[in-house]
Amino acid sequence: MPKHRTGEAEARTQKGREAIEEAARLLRQMQFSQDYGAYAEGYHVAVSVDPRWNADHETVSVLITCYPFGHRRTDWALLPIHVLPKGGGSGVHAIARLDARGQALIPTLPPGDYRLSLRIKPIHVELVLFRQHERLAAQGEDEQYERRLWRGEGEDGAIVWTIEETEEGDIQIAFETSEERLSGHGVVFSLVDPDSKRVQYSHRLTLEPARTLGKWEGWCSVGSQTDFQGPYELVFEVVPPDEAE
């Protein structure tokens, strides 16, 4: 490739990084509720937050868009947007990934006041609840039931997660750590459609002392197998207690 073209590509990439950094700064200043959205723009990017009532008139969907100015090579994919209660507390938290167009859709949020943050570091993603899976036979040779199980670790190995489909048809997720420094921290996670990037389920758990000494865990039931057919991307982030509560 000619040097001038290489230089142009590098310049566009640098401008893309500038847009991402500016979007992160703008998002940290933005708030929204079921009654109003938000819009902000800087030198490199414009950011909009568009909440709309769903057909049930009890929840809202939120479309978040980051639009870079000019011809910028902006790699939005995998960057996580965190939605959390404006005033803290134990309200709804959600985490979504921007797609390649700089958009993220959260289809269901309860009414309330929210704030946003964008972490510049790409988030680790695992594909779960897909058809090809690890099978673990239930105890006893005569048992006909086989449960579906997915396991993995966070990027630094400090968090181990498990998703299991139980015999009763329930889907359960658990996060565990042996790092005492993470005691009381929160784990914000979402199940995301891999194609549309729609958030299908979001929740926040707190890492609390487990029955096993030296372990801390948080777990919950996601719902029934009939409601979550998959596949989904599991995205999660460990947040300090002051962000989790």
Reduced to 3 states, what is the DSSP secondary structure of residue 108? strand
pLDDT tops 70 at residue 78: no
What is the sign of the dihedral through the CA atoms of 87, 174, 239 and 52? Answer: negative
Scanning the chain, the segments in alpha helix (DSSP H) are: 3-28, 241-244
What is the sign of the dihedral through the CA atoms of 223, 224, 228 and 233? Answer: positive
| 197 alpha-carbon distance from chain centroid | 10
Question: How much is the pLDDT for 209?
Answer: 95
DSSP 8-state symbol, 79: P
CATH 2.60.40, the chain: domain bounds: 3-118, 125-244
Q: How confident is the model at residue 91 (pLDDT cuts 50, 70, 90)?
A: low
Question: How much is the pLDDT for 171?
Answer: 94
Question: How much is the pLDDT for 137?
Answer: 46
pTM over 0.85: no
**Over residues 126-142, mean pLDDT:** 60
Q: How confident is the model at residue 8 (pLDDT cuts 50, 70, 90)?
A: low
Question: How much is the pLDDT for 242?
Answer: 67
Torsion of CA 52, 191, 195, 102, to 10 degrees: 60
Question: How much is the pLDDT for 9?
Answer: 54
Written out in words, the top-level CATH class of the domain with range 125-244 is mainly beta
What CATH number has the domain spanning 3-118?
2.60.40
The token pair that represents 56 in the structure block: 């049930």
Q: Which residue shows structure tokens 């801390």?
A: 216
Instruction: List 40's β-bridge partners, or say none.
Output: 47
Q: What are phi and psi of 91, to 5 degrees?
A: -75, -170
Least confident stretch, 20-34, 72-86, 92-106, 196-210: 72-86
Q: How confident is the model at residue 99 (pLDDT cuts 50, 70, 90)?
A: confident
Cross-sheet strand order for the sheet of 114-118 = 31-32, 114-118, 80-85, 94-97
Q: Which of 74-83, 138-147, 152-161, 214-223 has the highest mean pLDDT?
A: 214-223
CA angle 20–96–86, rounded 5-degree value: 85
Burial of 126 (0-12, 13-18, 19+ CB in 10 A): middle
Question: How much is the pLDDT for 138?
Answer: 46
